[in-house]
Chain A
Amino acid sequence: MRRLVVVGNGMAGMACVEQILKYDPQFRITVFGDETHVNYNRVMLSSVLAGEKQADEIIINSEEWYRRNEIELRVGVRIIDVNPRAKTVTGDDGSVTPYDTLLLATGSSAWMPPIEGLDTDGVFAFRTLDDTRELIRRSGSETEAVVIGGGLLGLEAARGLQVQGCKVTVVHLMATLMERQLDKDGGQHLVKTMEGLGIRVLLGRSTKAIRGKTHVERVEFADGEGVDANLVVVAAGIRPNVELGRKAGLTVKRGIVVNDAMETSDPDIFAVGECVEHRGICYGLVAPLYEQGKVLAATLTGHRGAEYTGTVQAAKLKIMGVDVFSAGAWDASGADLIKYEDSGRGVYKKVAVKDGKLAGVILVGDTSDSHRYMDWLRTSADIGDKRGQLLFPPPSADVGLDVAEMSDSATVCGCVGVTKGTIIAAIHDRGVNTISQLKESTRACTGCGSCTSLCQDLLRAVAPDFEDEKKKVICACVPFAEDRLREILRSQKLRSVQEVLEIYGNGIGCEICKPALSYMLDMLWCGDHDEDRSARFINDRVHANIQKDGTFSVVPRIRGGVTSPDELRRIADVADKYRVPMVKITGSQRIDLLGIKKADLPKVWADLGMPSGQAYTKGVRMVKTCVGTEFCRFGTQDSTAAGIEMERRFEQLFTPHKVKMAAVGCPRNCAEATVKDIGLIGIEGGWQVVVGGAAGKSVRKADLLTTVETTEQALEASELFFQYYRENANYLERTYDFVERLGIEKVRKETVYAPETVRGGLLDRYRKSKARARDAWQEGQTPRHPTQFATVEVLA
């Protein structure tokens, strides 16, 4: 087998290797990467910086992939020399590696403009995962960040830094942002949008120097002005890494020159990606590099004839809520221009048509249509008859029509180059039903991710068992699915509702998202968050349940439904003293005092001398019990003691929706444990723990989670499920919907059958929350706010 050495472990190099692996094996492959990570999606670094993705989510090929394909991976080694005569490469660790075929995929580096003081501490490029991690580490509310460069990367960096809490200024040399992709009007719309997000934009400024004694303090411009900064990111462009090409004696201009077969001037050395120059163009976006990789893989493996003839350049800005798309030659001379502008909505569209074909397009504020334009560009389609529909597509009558109109050869994923036909084949031949299966099977959607909705539409239209993985967003105020939002809040360490709304939402919030966010923060930080009462429902502001006339109901905690003459006497006294209109035995073995005025609540609680029963909140309600072995002649387990202990362990905690429990001493099930969120059912010699039961809006028999021998084991299994539900259910999702959505097998696998570390983690977080939880009625004595319960009296 011949030895193929790949220099560069980036997206282009590995995409090419993936293609090579599709042919019959003829190489022993060694890959050198100077970063210390496996191959990751560099395009997604801005999403990592913006907290939308974790570092491990952008890994493209895991170590396991390299192992499985018998690729020797040498990370942290930089190749510093090539000897084309001896056919060897030399690493900076002194190693000399022979090759038969050499593939240079060295990519590019950040271009550093001639600015004084670039070596000052606090100046970074935004190019690698390490850069990204360092930027996140140095970000915070005290950080004043300056981004030099108002192109794609600079703007994404700016937004990411802002999300990390920094005050951000973008300094750009040109008179408009993203001038390579946008015309003046488009650029101006973008400036407005960026400023609307709270990012300061300075145009037409040439940065002269970065000042600071031990650390960056100020950025100075050529015109004498400047801005204070303690973090600087230089995103002024990229420069192909061509040193090795030069050392190997290849023809090098701006990049390593390759022909249409992706060959260099040396028959045994090839190059791919951002380091190459093809027909005078050095590409810096991912789609062309993947196309090059395909052609090169064919050439390398002897399947000659494949040709790379260049790629229509298209760029999409990846900032949540800032939609910018640009493709082709929108400035082609002699083209007809068709424009649309809505300054109120911040939408700008410009379409350039030449000789009856689309030459280029700019979209700002609404990019929902970009795939249509991309397709016309790629296929050089004749669009003469669509002249009236160039700015907006004709309304589609049903879901799937849009995708139905695409031809099988139309490209869906531009990054990886996957056509509609390929996806349909994958659905039929390989049983693909979900986006993740589609990614696995075709690699579609694994580049910039902008084709996700199109792929989803295709799956929906074609796949027999399509499963929509896209979860509902909470509401229009915070347009994120809850699982995504939980990750964001965790990684961004956000601790207050208002903060979340300001950074990820519309700054206002509503009655749907505010309580949901309140819950999420409480759960994520185990109670150690900034609780904002204004974001909570009235019940959670005054710890009682509002009734139709504006009075409140009071339900004290009676654990397991077991009370005492003394408690009953106090309840009766309170009912007399406050003339309580109704005293009612509830369905949960408790007593409800209805019709109490807000101002009386603290006094009522004090007189009762009992803790809150939390009958008013999305939290732990109660544990209903039967008399078990204590008195019952059929009882097999002490269900009252178990139920009381269960209630003690869970009380005072908040949950996505209310949680009702029960413990019964035998399968006769007198306390109805099989229709509770968590139920313990005593059997001879042990307990069954059941979850996801319901007897409310819907009726559902609970699923068996596990069968155990001791009460302690039953309680621990309950704790595992309880915390798992708290962490993974959507707000207002009852356990019965949650268990049904996930399936009990998955729930078991991730709770009682999970590895010890996972179980330990769940229990730890549950215990942490429990340690912080307090009886809410203590606030009767020490209110959060002077008028929390008291009536506001008019000044004299």
Chain B
Amino acid sequence: MRWIRVTRCDNIPPREGRAVSLAGREIAIFNLGPPTELGAGAGDRFLAVDNQCPHKAGPLADGIVTGTSVVCPLHTWKISLEDGRVQRPSGSVDQGVTAYPARVEAGVVVVGVPEVAAGMDNLGLKVQDCLSEEPLLQERMANPPCPHAEACVSSNVGNPGV
């Protein structure tokens, strides 16, 4: 594990996320605000996951935070920020996204990136490249099913056009 000092805590406002390029990958870092049981002023909690929704690669950093999860701005998939797992749609077969350990040191958010992954990046490889070796996965990434077609239409996912 390589720990990287990313940015000052106050660069990420409470209950929002920000994207950052780290060791060759785009990671979404979230400020969950102060832990509720300790109340305000106890110091904010930060969590980090890949900034790509497993559904259609939506930017998770731009999602709305709900508790310790984030809702993707594109089609309202819900991803746990603690372990990266897909929470909605509940029957999802997707493996979710990678979650990275994060902590605060002297007012700076520090994120842990696996050495192997960091090394792979140095070799110019991307996670995507590794996945695409598996044909089934490759096909699913090209044509992902939308198991929540209705949610796309009815929930608050912004406006399709003008």
Chain A residues close to B by CB (< 8 Å): 507-512, 514-516, 532-539, 541, 545-546, 548-550, 553, 555, 586-588, 590, 592, 613, 615-617, 621, 658, 697, 732, 785-787, 791-795
Cα–Cα distance between A516 and B67 once the two chains are bound (Å): 17
Question: Which residues does chain A contribute within 8 Å of B159, judged by CB atoms?
Answer: 539, 545, 615-617, 658
Q: In the complex, how many angstroms separate the beta carbon of B44 from the nearest chain A beta carbon?
A: 12
Q: Report chain B residues within 8 Å CB of A539.
A: 158-159
Stretch at the interface among B56-64, B91-99, B132-140: B56-64
What is B's interface to A at a CB cutoff of 8 Å? Answer: 4-8, 11-16, 18-22, 29, 36, 56-59, 62-67, 71, 73-74, 76, 108, 153, 155-159, 161-162
- Are the C-beta atoms of B19 and A792 separated by less than 8 Å? yes
B residues in contact with A509, CB < 8 Å: 66
Please state if A510 and B162 are interface contacts (CB–CB under 8 Å): no
> Is B59 a contact of A550 with CB atoms below 8 Å?
yes
Are B13's CB and A795's CB within 8 A? no
Q: A549: which B residues are within 8 A, CB to CB?
A: 57
Residues from chain B with a CB closer than 8 A to the CB of A550 are 57-59, 62
**B64 and A546 contact, CB distance less than 8 A:** no
Contacts of A785 in B (CB 8 A): 13
The answer to whether A510 and B11 touch across the interface, beta carbons within 8 angstroms, is no
A539 CA / B13 CA spacing, docked (Å): 17
Q: Are A592 and B162 in contact (CB under 8 A)?
A: yes
Q: What are the residues of chain A within 8 A of B162 when measuring CB–CB?
A: 545, 553, 555, 586-588, 590, 592, 613, 615, 621
Hey, which chain A residues are within 8 Å of B21, CB to CB? 794
Give CA–CA (A538, B74) in the complex, Å: 10
A40 vs B53: C-alpha distance when bound (angstroms): 56
Task: Find the A residue at minimum CB distance from B72.
Answer: A511
Cα distance A548–B76 in the bound complex, in angstroms: 13
A253, B18: Cα distance in complex, Å: 73
* Closest 9 A/B residue pairs (Cβ): A534-B15, A538-B62, A586-B162, A511-B71, A550-B59, A510-B66, A511-B64, A508-B67, A615-B162
Closest to A508 in B: B67
Bound form: Cα–Cα A703–B159 in Å:
25
The interface residues of chain A lying within 8 Å CB-to-CB of B108 are 795
Measured between alpha carbons, how far is A537 from B157 in the docked complex, in Å? 8
Report which residue of B12, B56, B157, B158 has the largest number of chain A beta carbons within 10 angstroms of its beta carbon: B158
Which of A511, A534, A586, A615 sits near B13, CB closer than 8 Å? A534
Interface pairs (8), CB distance under 8 Å: A512-B156, A534-B14, A537-B158, A546-B158, A548-B74, A588-B162, A615-B159, A795-B108
Chain B residues with CB below 8 A from A538, complex form:
62-64, 73, 158
Most-contacted residue by chain B among A510, A535, A539, A786 (CB, 10 A): A510
Known: A538-B63, A546-B74, A787-B11. A511 touches B155 (CB 8 A): yes
Report how far A537 CA is from B70 CA in the complex, Å. Answer: 12
Q: Which residues of B contact A787 (CB under 8 A)?
A: 11-12, 18
Q: Which A residues lie within 8 Å of B29 (CB)? A: 792
CB-CB under 8 A for A792 and B7, given A511-B64, A550-B59, A785-B13: yes
Q: Across the interface, which residues of A come within 8 angstroms of B58, CB to CB?
A: 548, 550
A583 to chain B, nearest CB (A): 13
Complex CA distance for A131 and B11, rounded to whole angstroms: 48
Cα distance, A277 to B5, chains bound together (Å):
76
Report yes or no: A791 in contact with B19, Cβ–Cβ below 8 A. yes
B62 to chain A: which residues have CB within 8 Å? 538, 541, 546, 550
A553: nearest residue on chain B (CB-CB)?
B162
Question: Which residues on A sit within 8 Å (CB–CB) of B11?
Answer: 786-787, 792
Bound CA–CA A615/B160 (angstroms): 10
Q: Do residues B36 and A794 form an inter-chain contact, with CB atoms below 8 A?
A: no
Chain A residues with Cβ under 8 A from B14's Cβ? 534
The answer for the CA separation of A587 and B156 in the assembled complex, in Å, is: 22
| Contact call A616/B158, Cβ cutoff below 8 A | yes
Would A534 and B16 be within 8 Å (CB), given that A539-B159, A546-B158, A586-B162 are in contact? yes
